[in-house]
Copies of this chain bind each other. A is one copy, B any other.
């Protein structure tokens, strides 16, 4: 059978969605069902699942099967979903739209959104630790996978990025160095977690894991630069949220620092570097090369 990017992507997305369904559970008649509903609302049936796909494919390239990384992939997507819920809250970005729908706090109220975020973050670790295929990968790698997730999602990872974002809000004083750190943490850390956890589950050695991390860093940067570009070039319908919000909020972005054309060039260079990592990993199959291209060709 010939390779088709869309159908590989589709299969991975289905696996991730099914795992997320199981991880969050169906709406039960509990006294706290509304928080579970908010978790489902913000996690299921949407999103590109970029992080989950990276995790599954790198596991498959490591050991021949993607299945053992499914709990990790679902955990990463839960962390991603929680971060968006908390980011959208009035005290943070105060965004009322997410993926074309009212954001979680608009739909369920602030308190339920706060708890849904907390519950997704906690469930991510519960699910990764409970469903991990220890028989296949061994306890040591299972623990390392969950630990990597905690490190990348925490204060020295994603949350650190959000904190930097907050600190420089409305200041227009962000240097290129700070912007680089911000994005390496805020967007990059979770993509790094995805690639590393896939490699860990797939039994990769330290040298290979290092290349996974480098690939992730380039993809992450390209992804963020494209976000900045799309904020000024896409339509609100394409994005599912208001465009131009970066400029109106006085945010420093790649576009503000370098302009659209130069930014686009930088994103393309990241993709070239990412592909070089794949070469060094002796990967010949096209999927991860195509993922790298997808990151900069996307329109939303």
Contact = CB atoms under 8 A, between A and B. Distances in A.
Given A110-B91, A167-B34, A86 B162 contact: no
A154 interface: yes
B122 A163 contact: no
Given A91-B114, A92-B114, A119-B154, A159 B35 contact: yes
Contact of A31 (B123, B143, B167): B167
A112 interface: yes
B86 A163 contact: no
A163 B130 contact: no
B129 A143 contact: yes
Interface in A109-140: 109-112, 114-115, 117-119, 121-123, 125-126, 129-130, 132, 134, 139-140
Nearest to A174: B31
Interface in A1-39: 30-32, 34-36, 39
A164 interface: yes
Interface residues of A, number: 51
A32 B112 contact: no
A123 B86 contact: no
A181 interface: yes
**Integer count of this chain's copies in the complex:** 2
Contacts of A111: 91-92, 166
- Most B-side CB within 10 Å, residue of A112, A122, A139, A150: A122
A163 B111 CA distance: 9
Instruction: Point out which of A139, A159, A160, A166 has the most chain B C-beta atoms below 10 A from its C-beta.
Output: A159
A123 B36 contact: no
Given A86-B118, A114-B86, A115-B159, A150 B125 contact: yes
A257 interface: no
A153 to B, nearest CB: 5
A32 B121 contact: no
Contact of A36 (B139, B150, B155): B155
Interface string A26-58: 000011101110010000000000000000000
A147 interface: yes
6 contacts: A30-B160, A31-B160, A34-B167, A35-B160, A91-B111, A122-B159
Closest CB pairs A-B (n = 6):
A139-B139, A32-B163, A126-B150, A91-B110, A122-B154, A119-B155
Interface of A: 30-32, 34-36, 39, 86, 89, 91-92, 109-112, 114-115, 117-119, 121-123, 125-126, 129-130, 132, 134, 139-140, 142-143, 146-147, 150-151, 153-155, 159-164, 166-167, 178, 181-182
Given A121-B121, A123-B150, 19 more contacts: A31-B167, A32-B155, A32-B161, A32-B163, A32-B164, A35-B159, A35-B160, A36-B155, A91-B110, A114-B114, A115-B166, A119-B159, A122-B150, A122-B154, A126-B147, A130-B147, A132-B143, A142-B143, A143-B143
